[in-house]
Structure 1
Amino acid sequence: MTFSHMAMDRPLRILILEDTPTDAELAQRELRKAAMVFVAECVETRETFLKALDTWQPDIVLADYKLPHFDGLTALELLRQRSPDLPFVFVSGTMGEEFAIETLHRGASDYVLKGHLSKLGPAVVRALKVAETQYRHRLAEQDLFKSRQMLRTVLDTVPQRVFWKDLASIYLGCNQPFAIDYGFASPADLIGKTDFDLVSFELARRWRAEDQQIMANGQPHLDIEESYTKADGGQGWRVLCKAPLRDQQGQVTAILCTYEDITARKASEARARYLVYHDGLTELPNHLLASDRLQQAMAYADRESSKVALLFLDLDNFKTINDSLGHTVGDKLLCEVATRLGQCVRDTDTVSRQGGDEFLIVVPALHDSDASAPVLDKLLQSIHLPMVIDGHELSTSVSIGIAVYPDDGQDFESLMKKADTAMYQAKDAGGNTYCFFDKQMNDDVLENLRMRSGLGHALERDEFVLHYQPQIDLNSGALVGVEALIRWQHPTLGLVPPARFIPVAEETTMIVEIGEWVMIQACRQVAIWHRAGYSKISIAVNLSAIQFQRGDLEDTVKRALAQSGLEPSLLELELTESILIRNTENILTTVRQLKQLGVMLSIDDFGTGYSSLSYLKRFNVDKLKIDQSFIRHLATDPNDAAIVRAVVQMAHSLGLRTIAEGVEDESLLNDLRAFHCDEAQGYYFARPMPAQEMTQFLIAAQTSRL
């Protein structure tokens, strides 16, 4: 039960505790004389009194002192337990003055003797006003308490430290985090102390000087960053703000200070600055710092007439390790490599990680290029030693490319490109070695780039042409087939042979589109010759391993046969041994699908790869093409002659035909006939020629035997 203020839109509710109805009526009459608007409820027992308090909720209680079964003091105690502010006025005829004062001490609002009821109206008004004031005061105290509790909670939970001092720099208070920072259990323990009790004499004197300056000029000091010693002895950083506190007259009476510990932020900023120039995994200098170190080394080399070696390192089998054992093992391996690299170089050298499994080393102050050889050997040996990572014994190696300043370039980017080029040469040499850059490498790179750029548009610009080389039956001398050989009519380089652009086409997988174009054009051309009445010659087309891996080869062959109308048996697909030995089951499936189409299959450059009799059986080939490296010295090298004779005999025993390539003179032709080789092609018969010239060759071949 709470007391509400007097300003109400209803009659005043008065609870009267009186056992004499006449006295109750007299009291009400006096209140009406005082112009009060009210309703009254009269009770005379404890039970009815409590019930009225709960259900009727009066605004004031008027009570007699003595009743037959109840008394006013007990009623007052019961009321104060429920409502500390509700007005309670004694109205009695027997209460003495001394006892009346006692009732006031116990919480009564006032008392009126029944013989002086004219004073009841003013007493009621006075009691209501006092109760209203007490009620408001209590609400204000509650609000103040809540505000103080909220402020204390905020002060003790915010990350900022808050404290305030008087004009003598004596601590008046602080929040809990500040107290803990300086080794105090609670803020109360700090009150009355000075800075000299907390920090060193010099620091305390500086803080007091700052306080006095703020007191003197009344200006705050904001966002002051400073280092400080924590209670545990550790060093930290904080940002400090101090501001004056003023009284109603505007005079400075105290100083409010706050600070926030920014040690973690400072550490993060320092780490961020560090990572601008360092690799986060290995802690080595990164690309940016390596560039700066190289610039310094080049400047030194210019002054001392010395050289600088830039080493580009790439692990040889890191991807296999990373993919099979996971990135955690891969990262630990890179860290171990970084450690070993650092152990192999001088303090003046710079080891840098570029990303992935690539590293750079700047080796300054060299008298000549060969002076880097000892560190290169050391690097190769160190990285090649086994490494135990998470229980796995791992073996790896490194390929190193070297570019030298000023011989190979004048700036970081050019030297890095050339070192990268040399590194790939080391890779091509089998890895675990190093290679110095030379001009021919650069020419090869530029050539490769030129090929890549041109190949991207060669098909759409119709720059490819097919040349055809005749294939002759050695028994009859008849022309039995032609091999389609692609040429690139480059707009500036002229006619480019396949050896220059096919490897690039395979690197970029453009060989799939180019191979499809060759297949369709070759089938179309030989079908034209057939319809023109020339003999039923076959057409041989070379296939790349990439076409098996990336292209839909079976669909390409079907489309070429359908568009040209060529009989499948007159299309011969030349496979290299390297195609047959990789991913054998998938290759075998594709080869069987091609054989089901009715095309012929031959093994190109037989004897130069990993020759195996088993795949001759499994892949159901029709012909072996003996590589020209065995044919060229057939007449002068007994070993070549023995190899050719053995290949022909083996092929015939397996039911396969043989064809020799690179036949350039009649003596070779005679030897091949003596070995019973079935077919031959080469410059002795004709060089590869465009379709128009091949047409003329076909006309001549109809009337003669070669």
Structure 2
Amino acid sequence: MSENTKILIVDEDPELLASLSQQLQENAYQVFTAGDTSQAKTVLLAEDPELLVLDLMLHEMEGQDLLAFIEQQELTTSVIVISEETGFDVVSSAFRSGVFDYLQKPFELDEFLATVRYAMSKREVEQDFLSLRKKLERSEKLHRFMVESSPDIIFIVDKGGHFVFVNKRAEEALGYSKNELLGEHYSFIVEPRCLEQAAYCFQERREGARATREEEIWLRCKEIPQIDSRKKIAIELNSVGVYENSDAQGLKNFSGTYVVARDVTERLASEKLIHYQAYHDLLTGLPNRALFMDRLSNTINNARRENRKLAVMFLDLDRFKVVNDSLGHSIGDTLLQLVSERLDECLRESDTLARIGGDEFMVLLPFVESVEDAQIVAEKVVSAIKKPFVINDHELYVTVSIGISIYPHDGENAEMLIKNSDIAMYHTKEAGKDNFHRYDQNMSEKNDLLLSIENEIRSGLKEGQFEVFYQPQIRLEDGQIVGVEALLRWNHPQQGLLSPSNFITVAEESGLICELGDWVLEEVLSVIADWKKDGLRVERFAINFSGKEIEQNNFADKIIDSLKKHSVDASQLEIEVTEGVLMRNIENSLAKIKQLHDVGVNIAIDDFGTGYSSLSLLQKLPINRLKIDRSFIQDMEESTDRFIIEAIAHMARGLKLEMVAEGVEQDYQLRYLHQLQCPIVQGFVFSQGVPADEAKSFIASTQAMLDEQEKEQRLSS
């Protein structure tokens, strides 16, 4: 023990301090010294030594103050007094203050060390005794706490079923006091429907593994007037028989039953809620896909046994995204709730309406005699949904597209019926929306074709079948090539070279357009960097981006990161977007376009004149160019189209925007645009879109020819 024992020596004699300190240290004690009470108090508080060796006569009896300080601070430090004073009053006062021993100066060192060892030995015995007593006290308190303050409800009932013990947790859970329960039969608090079950639990005689375990029972709570208290609780209980000492024959005497229970009311409520959430849409309260599938599967089994039909309807709201994006998710959520209510009003009690996600719903009609029955319901739904919805002073209009499949003709299992109703719904979308169609085999064939194209696109991306072509943009003033537009092409292994019109719609619907767009961006930036290394610089490379790409949260960040990765100047990249894409979600699009414009990327409105953008919108947008839609150029012989081109040209000059005419294929179109002072043109009259190597050669040769012409002009002048 001495290795860890701390001893403080307090004496004003430095030589004595040094001597005692040396002796104690040689005996492996950790020693602190102090020459006055102030230093001593500091050490006592900081180090809490086990033993204090103190000269009482320190500075005219200041040692007594130190003993009082120890008592005041409730320190457990043992004290040995060393002093020249041997008067009865001084010595007796020291012992009354709790001093362990008193040594008269001068003393022998051996005597001193023996006294220290004895003090430490006695202290250790006392500490062990105190520790044991505290453990016993804690054990007793713990036992009382476990029973009285247990989180579990604890009952003891006698062999007649009457309560003889109830703990505090039982009082809190049931609202009854101990006095109200003691002596009562257990049936007093058991729900009537659980009485038979409770008899086995509250009169349990068995012990060990065969005793009652985890039995669930409902108990009645005390009804307290004017207080919103629980009427009943669910408990999960364990019970075991209690036996007294054996009788003369060695048989144990059954005295009652010990019941330990836990309140599981909240757990059961949570499980019920979790179960509800697992099978219901939380926004509308309607069944979700999982519950719908379960009901549909059961209904199919019944219909198969009874040889009857049923119908599945797949519903998708038209224009809901416009409402959600323009007015916010709160209005959108309220609209979905109102739509759900209106749909429910169109159905019978035996029908099932489910929301399966977003703005999509499904309906199960378990009893239909014919296709016409399902069509009648669909007509009611279409008519009901097209009526206006009023939310926060907004009068909103949406419509619904519906697809219908009939069991067993359109599918004999749940998956097939849902799939085919989905296909029919998309057919309704393509046919103009706000209507319904029943599934037809031809729809599936078309859908299979689209799926096949989607899979081929995926393969094409993996196998490097896609390629970027480049079409030059010419400045009419001097014939310089001032930019190129990147055009995606697909080297299809069976169908040859395909333009985007053959696959871009499928890519957009499947979401692959984003993956394609990422690939095009990387490819174009790589070409810019390569041409720059070869000394060929083109002012701008234009890439067209779709709405789905711009809707990506990281759209702008992704482009900026790619520019940095390829060390390409942002001013060399031009983003082309159509008016329609911008109008989908103008605020969101504007923020991303502005972020790109702020780092130097050029912005162009593609196919201008075919959308719905206003002059005020054009003034807001950070754009550099307007590209006239090719349809106006190709129909230029019509006077109306010429008026439109001239109007766009005047507007572009007024807004200080550069105008680009694309789709220029004839010389007369070129002459007209030159006369109109259109700065930049693009089209077959100069070059069609060509692979990167051909475009590079064309640009280099054109530049060389223009340089030669300029040189000849200088020489001739």
TM-score by length of 2: 0.54
**C-alpha distance in 2 between matches for 1:243 and 1:445:** 72
How many equivalent residue pairs? 534
Does the 8 Å contact 2:525/2:566 carry over to 1?
A: no
2:455 to 435, 447, 450: 450
**C-alpha distance in 2 between matches for 1:559 and 1:156:** 69
- Residue 484 (structure 2) pairs with residue 498 (structure 1): no
Does the 8 Å contact 1:310/1:360 carry over to 2?
A: yes
Does the 8 Å contact 1:164/1:256 carry over to 2?
A: yes
Measured after TM superposition, the shift of residue 497 of structure 1 is: 1.0
Give matches, 1:464-503, under 5 Å.
464-466=467-469, 485-502=487-504
SS at match of 1:284: coil
Match for residue 631 of structure 1? 634
2:312 to 309, 330, 341: 309
1:359 to 361, 369, 392: 361
Does the 8 Å contact 1:399/1:427 carry over to 2?
A: no
Measured after TM superposition, the shift of residue 286 of structure 1 is: 2.6
With over 3 angstroms needed to count, the CA separation of the structure-2 counterparts of 1:219 and 1:561, relative to structure 1, is closer
Match for residue 341 of structure 1? 343
Match for residue 405 of structure 2? 404
**C-alpha distance in 1 between matches for 2:295 and 2:528:** 58
Deviations 1:135-177 (A, max 9, x none): xxxxxxxx99x979975983476542413325x6666555566
Deviations 1:438-492 (A, max 9, x none): 336524641563365146436xx3741526589898x999999987644221345
Measured after TM superposition, the shift of residue 510 of structure 1 is: 3.7
Letter in 1 for 2:158: K
Letter in 2 for 1:628: S
CA RMSD, Structure 1 to Structure 2 (Å)? 6.4
With over 3 angstroms needed to count, the CA separation of the structure-2 counterparts of 1:644 and 1:224, relative to structure 1, is closer
- Residue 441 (structure 2) pairs with residue 439 (structure 1): no
Measured after TM superposition, the shift of residue 258 of structure 1 is: 1.6
1:293 to 292, 295, 310: 295
Letter in 1 for 2:454: L
Match for residue 375 of structure 1? 377
Match for residue 647 of structure 1? 645
Match for residue 508 of structure 1? 514
Does the 8 Å contact 2:204/2:211 carry over to 1?
A: no
Measured after TM superposition, the shift of residue 245 of structure 1 is: 1.5
Which 10-residue stretch deviates more, 493-502 or 274-283?
Answer: 274-283
**C-alpha distance in 1 between matches for 2:615 and 2:152:** 80
Does the 8 Å contact 1:315/1:397 carry over to 2?
A: yes
Measured after TM superposition, the shift of residue 650 of structure 1 is: 6.9
With over 3 angstroms needed to count, the CA separation of the structure-2 counterparts of 1:445 and 1:150, relative to structure 1, is same
Give matches, 1:135-150, under 5 Å.
none
**C-alpha distance in 1 between matches for 2:466 and 2:196:** 87
**C-alpha distance in 1 between matches for 2:278 and 2:614:** 56
With over 3 angstroms needed to count, the CA separation of the structure-2 counterparts of 1:202 and 1:685, relative to structure 1, is closer
**C-alpha distance in 2 between matches for 1:209 and 1:383:** 58
Give matches, 1:159-174, under 5 Å.
159-166=152-159, 172-174=164-166
With over 3 angstroms needed to count, the CA separation of the structure-2 counterparts of 1:646 and 1:246, relative to structure 1, is closer
Where does structure 1 lack aligned partners over 5 or more consecutive residues?
Answer: 1-50, 58-142
2:239 to 238, 241, 244: 241
**C-alpha distance in 2 between matches for 1:644 and 1:153:** 94
Does the 8 Å contact 1:468/1:691 carry over to 2?
A: no
SS at match of 1:347: coil
**C-alpha distance in 2 between matches for 1:198 and 1:526:** 89
Measured after TM superposition, the shift of residue 538 of structure 1 is: 10
SS at match of 1:346: coil
With over 3 angstroms needed to count, the CA separation of the structure-2 counterparts of 1:342 and 1:469, relative to structure 1, is same
**C-alpha distance in 2 between matches for 1:418 and 1:574:** 38
SS at match of 2:350: coil
Letter in 1 for 2:447: N
Measured after TM superposition, the shift of residue 295 of structure 1 is: 1.6
Match for residue 60 of structure 1? none
Measured after TM superposition, the shift of residue 283 of structure 1 is: 3.8
**C-alpha distance in 2 between matches for 1:593 and 1:425:** 43
Measured after TM superposition, the shift of residue 237 of structure 1 is: 4.5
Letter in 1 for 2:462: H
**C-alpha distance in 2 between matches for 1:198 and 1:587:** 70
**C-alpha distance in 2 between matches for 1:527 and 1:219:** 86
Measured after TM superposition, the shift of residue 661 of structure 1 is: 2.8
SS at match of 1:352: strand
With over 3 angstroms needed to count, the CA separation of the structure-2 counterparts of 1:213 and 1:56, relative to structure 1, is closer
SS at match of 2:287: coil
Does the 8 Å contact 1:165/1:254 carry over to 2?
A: yes
Match for residue 113 of structure 2? none
**C-alpha distance in 2 between matches for 1:325 and 1:624:** 32
**C-alpha distance in 2 between matches for 1:650 and 1:187:** 93
With over 3 angstroms needed to count, the CA separation of the structure-2 counterparts of 1:321 and 1:174, relative to structure 1, is same
**C-alpha distance in 2 between matches for 1:592 and 1:170:** 83
With over 3 angstroms needed to count, the CA separation of the structure-2 counterparts of 1:674 and 1:258, relative to structure 1, is closer
Does the 8 Å contact 1:313/1:359 carry over to 2?
A: yes
Measured after TM superposition, the shift of residue 514 of structure 1 is: 0.8
**C-alpha distance in 2 between matches for 1:691 and 1:208:** 88
Letter in 2 for 1:310: M
Deviations 1:649-671 (A, max 9, x none): 874898788857374xxxx7668
**C-alpha distance in 2 between matches for 1:585 and 1:208:** 71
Letter in 1 for 2:403: I
SS at match of 2:610: coil
With over 3 angstroms needed to count, the CA separation of the structure-2 counterparts of 1:265 and 1:477, relative to structure 1, is closer
Measured after TM superposition, the shift of residue 374 of structure 1 is: 3.8
Measured after TM superposition, the shift of residue 499 of structure 1 is: 2.1
Identity percentage of aligned residues: 22
Does the 8 Å contact 1:602/1:622 carry over to 2?
A: yes
Answer with 1 or 2: which has the greater Rg: 1
Give matches, 1:24-63, under 5 Å.
none
SS at match of 2:405: strand
SS at match of 1:351: strand
Where does structure 2 lack aligned partners over 5 or more consecutive residues?
Answer: 1-91, 99-135, 224-229, 706-717
Does the 8 Å contact 2:633/2:662 carry over to 1?
A: no
**C-alpha distance in 1 between matches for 2:693 and 2:451:** 34
Measured after TM superposition, the shift of residue 508 of structure 1 is: 0.9
SS at match of 1:285: coil
SS at match of 2:294: helix
**C-alpha distance in 2 between matches for 1:216 and 1:616:** 87
Does the 8 Å contact 1:309/1:404 carry over to 2?
A: yes
With over 3 angstroms needed to count, the CA separation of the structure-2 counterparts of 1:360 and 1:212, relative to structure 1, is closer
Which 10-residue stretch deviates more, 156-165 or 285-294?
Answer: 156-165
Measured after TM superposition, the shift of residue 359 of structure 1 is: 3.3
With over 3 angstroms needed to count, the CA separation of the structure-2 counterparts of 1:408 and 1:631, relative to structure 1, is farther
Does the 8 Å contact 1:282/1:334 carry over to 2?
A: yes
Give matches, 1:386-425, under 5 Å.
395=396, 397=398, 399-405=400-406, 406=408, 409-417=411-419, 419-420=421-422
